Amino acid sequence: MTDDPGRSDELPLWIRLADHGPLTPALELRMVLADSARELMRAQDRLTDHYTRLQRIAHQDAARSRDRPDGIEVVAEPDRFRDLAHRLLHTATEEGLLLLDESAADLSPPPTTPHPLRMICVRPLLADPDRRERIEAALTAGHGVRVLPALPASLLAVDGTALLALPPTDQPRQLLLVRSPALVALLTQYVEALWRQAIPLADGVATDTDGAPTPVQRQILRLAAAGLKDESIARSLGRSVRWVRRHFEVLEERLSATNRLTLGIAAVRRGWI
């Protein structure tokens, strides 16, 4: 161990405490978890700083040009912004990521897409009956839905393109089309970090009073009980394997199942199969 106090502070807490005597396994584990939590907070702070820089650049440069060489286009018409979102979602070749803040009129979850979405919404949206109905329809359609108390913006990221609706500050709400690979990658990483913190909608906010599955989910469960693999189920229903697996994830979250076996047992007990 070094005598330099500045350098010793950089060492994990559980190593620094080891100098004062042996640690119990439980205390050592708590120290390791505390260090991991601090590292996660530092990473989240860095992501927030990057996002703030992006927002500042967008606000400063919005008036200069509509189509910019750096891969950011200001979309002046809300109708065009919604059309772009609709087109991206229905021509997607991979899973999309969607954030819905309290001013989420610019983006709304669609009932069906070629591939499932991972969507995070703010809890106040669930208080609006119409928006709650659309969000719950997305959940039962096989999209992953999670909830956070607040979000900094609305965002759709799919196929290397992002649509970003910035919250109003001293200007009206700005709508941006982002094509820069570096910026899209940064936004995607930010959403992934939020996804890990968010709470699944199925945990404590059921879609139905009895939590019953949709007809499609019942069919998936029956096919799985008959011994079909995910690939065969997808072919039978004319959908993607990822779409089928998203439905299984929704059902597992709803029934607090840890795997397919416990999901099947819970489904049989409820009479779903």
Is 210 a member of any domain?
Answer: no
CA–CA dist 122, 101 (Å, integer): 6
Last residue of a domain, one of 141, 172, 200: 200
230 & 141 share domain: no
Is 57 a member of any domain?
Answer: no
Helix ranges, the chain (H): 5-8, 13-18, 25-61, 78-90, 129-140, 181-197, 215-225, 230-237, 241-255, 260-269
Mapped onto helix, strand or coil, the DSSP state of residue 258 is coil
Q: Long-range contacts for 12-21 (Cβ within 8 Å, ≥24 apart)?
A: none
Please state the domain count of the chain: 3
- Only one residue has tokens 């949709």, namely 214
Is 208 a member of any domain?
Answer: no
- Here the CATH number for the domain that contains residue 263 is 1.10.10.10
74 & 160 share domain: yes
77 & 195 share domain: yes
Mapped onto helix, strand or coil, the DSSP state of residue 72 is strand
10 & 93 share domain: no
CA–CA dist 252, 272 (Å, integer): 13
Question: Per-residue pLDDT for 11 more than 60?
Answer: no
Residues spanned by the domain of 20: 5-47
pLDDT of residue 70: 64
Nearest to 105 by CA among 38, 48, 172, 57: 172
Q: Kindly report which listed range (61-65, 155-159, 207-211) carries the lowest average pLDDT score.
A: 207-211
Is 70 a member of any domain?
Answer: yes
Residue 231 pLDDT class (50, 70, 90 cuts): very high
Element (H, E) at 161: strand 161-166
Is 140 a member of any domain?
Answer: yes
Is 183 a member of any domain?
Answer: yes
74 & 163 share domain: yes
pLDDT of residue 25: 64
166 & 257 share domain: no
- Here the CATH number for the domain that contains residue 184 is 3.30.870.10
179 & 225 share domain: no
- pLDDT for 146-197, tens place per residue? 888 888 888 999 989 999 888 776 667 788 899 988 889 999 998 988 888 8
Is 121 a member of any domain?
Answer: yes
Question: Per-residue pLDDT for 90 more than 80?
Answer: yes
CA–CA dist 228, 173 (Å, integer): 48
142 & 191 share domain: yes
Is 98 a member of any domain?
Answer: yes
